[in-house]
Amino acid sequence: MAKKELQGVKEIARRANVAIATVDRVIHNRTGVSAKTREKINKIIEELNYQPNLLARRLASGKVIKLAVLIPSVTDETDFWEAPLRGVQRAEAEIRQYGLSVQLFLFDLNDKHSFLSQTNRILQSDIDGVVLAPMFVDETLTFVTDCRRKGIPYVFIDSNIPDGQNLSYIGPPLHQSGYLAGRLCTSGLQPQQSVLLVHIATDIDSYTYRQIEQGFRTYFADHLPEQPLYRVDIHQTDEPSVTQALGAAFSGHSTVGAVFVTNSRAFLVARFLEDFTLIDKPLLIGYDLINANTHYLDNGFIDFLICHQPDDQGYRSIMTLYQYLVFSATVSKEHYMPIDIITRENRAYYRN
């Protein structure tokens, strides 16, 4: 029992003229105390506005809160999800002793069936809450409908779905993040040069990409409405497919001055630029300080990376669910992460 807690119990015991153990029985609703004494102690507790240490009570109860974490697995293609996973594990390590168990359910970012398989496993498990990355919109909506039916609260991380009825969204302000990318594109843009907006993903029409693109286009509508802006959609994320699509895009638009990649696959464009002969290298902007992007940031092929503290996203998602389930804490519907701009000059000092 913490010192402050013990002092409160001692004061209640002194005023009620009973032993500390008797007060402890009343606080934890245990037997062995007469109705008259219990009423007397409860009245003093109310007068003092005494609030017992809830974590200590959790520890004494022995109940374990079980959370499921449904996020993409780390692959050779991208290691972005290493950072949120670290945050999840950090939160679990901090409060495991107070009754927390976290179970990981990892899915293939390019395979809806693996996502569905993991959601089925979660629904068949004894789970109190879910943290998930809603990468596949229709499949996510089906899953969370089942969660609501079973009374399981859920938090979205990194990506959001409007009207998903999630407890909270913890991640970037998507529209404003895209808007900032538009601003960064203009930092090296010359007159008559065009801008490429590049989507490299199997699910290009997701809410996340739509919001980022909308923010990006809004910046140019606000500041450079005549700016030539072209969109390139690449549904196959393997390097040969990306190279072929980019070759066609650059051949068709020979005056490209800036390229914005709407996710962490900017390194694929950087590899293309490394091998493709251009008179002037275009400015290249993307997301996330993953290993492959860091390499091309250091050698100058990527100019800016936009980051949203993914480690902290994972940490906050676990803490948010735990506090809601255990303490009935008020939860913000959206918790927007900072928008950080990483360059070759400052990336060594950034905590991802």
pLDDT tens by residue, 164-219: 999 999 999 999 999 999 999 999 888 889 999 999 988 777 889 999 999 999 99
Query: pLDDT tens across 12-37, in order?
Result: 888 899 988 888 788 767 788 999 99
Rounded to whole angstroms, the Cα distance separating 68 from 157 reads 13
Number of domains in the chain: 3
Is 118 within the bounds of a domain? yes
How remote is the C-alpha of 224 from its chain's centroid? 32
Most confident of 16-25, 253-262, 282-291: 282-291
Query: Which tokens go with 293?
Result: 């992007």
Does any domain span residue 11? yes
- Tokens representing residue 24 in the block: 């402890």
Contacts of 14 by beta carbon, 8 Å cutoff, 6+ apart: none
**Same domain, yes or no, for 145 and 28?**
no
The helix/strand/coil state of 42 is helix
Angle of the 174-185 helix axis to the 207-223 helix axis, nearest 10: 50
**Could you tell me if residue 126 is inside a domain?**
yes
281 and 178 belong to one structural domain:
yes
Report the distance separating Cα 128 and Cα 23, nearest Å: 31
Check which CATH number belongs to the domain holding 14 and give it: 1.10.260.40
Confidence class for position 54, pLDDT limits 50, 70, 90: low
Instruction: Note whether residue 107 is domain-resident.
Output: yes
- How far is the C-alpha of 225 from the C-alpha of 219, rounded, in Å? 9
DSSP single-letter state for residue 84: H
Query: Could you tell me the CATH number of the domain that includes residue 122?
Result: 3.40.50.2300
**Residue range(s) defining the domain that contains residue 97:** 65-172+310-337
Same-domain check for residues 76 and 101? yes
